[in-house]
Structure 1
Amino acid sequence: MGMRRYIAKRVAHALVVIYIVATIVFFAVRAIPGDPARVLLGGDASAEAIAALREEMGLTEPLYVQYIRWMGRILQGDLGTSVFSDQSVLQMLIGVAEPTLSIAGLGMLIALLIAIPAGITSAVKQYQWEDYVATTVSFIGISMPGFWIGIVLLIIFADRLGWVPAFGYVSFRQGIIPWLKHIILPALAVGLPYGGILMRMTRSSMMEVLNEDYMRTARAKGLDGRLIVFKHGLQNALIPIVTVAGILLGVLLGGVVAVEIVFGIQGLGRLLIASIQRRDFPAIQGAVILISFVFVFMNLLVDVLYTSINPQIKYGGSE
């Protein structure tokens, strides 16, 4: 099976996964206790006003009718309108997705920039002081929650030193430097714990590769040590590292929520929490669909990257 057929198959599979997630979310949010109409009008609203609003929102229709209509709008690219703000859910998501994806993307980049060099050094210098230092630092990073790291960074670099702003977010469209100043601390807060996880993964994968017979043969032939480690070793060790990094990026999106609260950033996580509290069904459904799309897309991207890392990989068992 060629790459194009494989990608087409994976895209079809991804669409099925997103559809299943969307269906589960649709029914799950309606199982949440509470009436959106009552939440919107307040506890003092009359029964007649609540009933009228429920009918206007389409909540009096049978559940399967609501589902069919909602799915029909989804297929047309319409995520609905927020029952709380009366704003398009798609526009709401566009407004809050940028800071969340910026934090997650830069956080993962920081994690990789720390984890891969430290993991390689730890594996090559096994049981030496470099290995002990890298391993200890990785355990410390894994043990500290992102929001706590964020608070510490906030106190040191924003409050005490005044190097960066303490709160808020500036879009990269207003300049890379202002964007980076607002995003660097939240990105470090989410990236450092995952950097510890990826460092352990890199160390383990590199140690396994370095003990392979072909690596011993390369060393016996007198090849340059750096060539052996980076050309032959890292190329094969990267496959599981990239796989775990792709999965962690999806998980990292969930970890951004607490960091957004610490730094006062209005992102996707805070929108989702507020929507759940308000019983804003369309906003909840749209946010979860967006997160599932990002997660599925990252897994698809990881699969495609495999051949770039190791061209010997053949999709579908083709030669």
Structure 2
Amino acid sequence: MSRYLFHRAWQSLLTLFLATVVVFLGVRALPGDPALALAGEDRSPAVLAAIRHQYGLDQPLPVQFWRYLTNAVQGNLGTSIRTGTSVTSMLRTALPVTFELAALAIVFASLVGVGAGVTAAVHRGRAPEWVANAVALIGLSVPNFWLGLVAILYLSVATGLFPASGFVPLSSNPVDNLHHIVLPTVILGIGLSAVIMRQTRSSMLDSLSADYVRTAKAKGLKPRVVISRHALRNSLIVVVTIVGLQLGALISGAVVTEQIFGLPGIGKMTIDAVFQRDYPVIQAVVLVTATAYIVINFLVDLLYSLIDPRIRVGAGAA
């Protein structure tokens, strides 16, 4: 186990380092000069030179990267070129919003997707499977931004059931927080629930035709016990993999949903940073997202052995 953990640790650090290098070079390849945006109307050479020197933009790229890397290791992600505030403090404000949205969306998608997938597999060839497949197809085909706009039009503007935009912190008022976050959660989770449903159905069909399930039925176990304790448990490996990968994707992919519903998460912060060529903010968001991917994938590997005791996390470690 310890050998496996060490093996995954250095792989994760290498992946994170390479992602940091790619993003550092990529954001500087974007057209435009942040010094021009900060200078405003006074774009004299002296002012531009002073701005570049203040933010270290006049240094060679290797020097800029080394300074950024050493500061990041110490927890200092720099200062926003656009606002002049600490990037770390900006992340402290924005990340809880995005994490809450992604976590609730993954819970919603898992409950709906697994439930619909099991129902479709158990009732194969009958009406419940047709309904589940039709709903999943709609969820995969319709873009989230269109669903969000339709939801705002009918559920917020027309009926007033949910707020059209805004956010209330969970610590301030849990009820208002859920009232504001429930609609974005459903919209963000619909597409993922369709993916989980299709994968759960496919995996459940394989499990239901396996020998151990037929043996469990022959022993006289109730159908509910056979499905929950035998077929579903062995089908969860695929589901956990998808959920783990999609949770990282939701953290970075909630940009459109946050923009539509006016949520002050990292999505809005990232878009503003890209338009303003705010290098420190862009780099910090990607660093956090990459770290989330790495940690989630590691936890998914550990969950495998809990779901299926036949799997040992250290078996394939070199």
Query: Whole-Å Cα distance in 2 between the matches of residues 313 and 8 of structure 1?
Result: 19
Paired position in structure 1 for 2:113: 115
Paired position in structure 1 for 2:300: 302
Match of 1:222 among 220, 223, 242: 220
Paired position in structure 1 for 2:70: 72
5 Å-filtered alignment, 1:1-319, equals 2=1, 4-42=2-40, 44-317=42-315
Given that 2:248 and 2:292 are in contact with CA atoms closer than 8 Å, whether structure 1 keeps it comes out as yes
Identity %: 39
Q: How far 1:175 sits from its partner (Å)?
A: 2.3
Given that 2:109 and 2:189 are in contact with CA atoms closer than 8 Å, whether structure 1 keeps it comes out as yes
Q: How far 1:76 sits from its partner (Å)?
A: 0.9
Given that 1:146 and 1:255 are in contact with CA atoms closer than 8 Å, whether structure 2 keeps it comes out as no
RMSD (CA atoms): 1.5
Per-residue deviation, residues 19-75 of structure 1 (Å, max 9, x unmatched): 211111111111111111111112551122111211222111111111111111111
Query: Relative to structure 2, which stretch is displaced further, 145-154 or 224-233?
Result: 145-154
**TM-score, length-scaled by structure 2:** 0.95
- Size of the alignment, in residue pairs? 316
Q: Which consecutive residues of structure 1, in runs of 5 or more, have no partner in the other structure?
A: none
Per-residue deviation, residues 223-282 of structure 1 (Å, max 9, x unmatched): 211111110111110001110111112222343111111111121011111111111111
Q: Which consecutive residues of structure 2, in runs of 5 or more, have no partner in the other structure?
A: none
Query: Whole-Å Cα distance in 1 between the matches of residues 98 and 315 of structure 2?
Result: 38
Query: Whole-Å Cα distance in 2 between the matches of residues 216 and 294 of structure 1?
Result: 40
Given that 1:190 and 1:255 are in contact with CA atoms closer than 8 Å, whether structure 2 keeps it comes out as no
Q: Which amino acid aligns with 1:33?
A: P
Q: How far 1:13 sits from its partner (Å)?
A: 2.4
Query: Relative to structure 2, which stretch is displaced further, 113-122 or 215-224?
Result: 215-224
Q: How far 1:9 sits from its partner (Å)?
A: 3.2
Q: 1:227 to 1:184 in 2, by over 3 A?
A: same
**TM-score, length-scaled by structure 1:** 0.95
Given that 1:96 and 1:266 are in contact with CA atoms closer than 8 Å, whether structure 2 keeps it comes out as yes
Given that 2:3 and 2:314 are in contact with CA atoms closer than 8 Å, whether structure 1 keeps it comes out as no
Q: How far 1:198 sits from its partner (Å)?
A: 0.6
Q: Which amino acid aligns with 1:317?
A: A
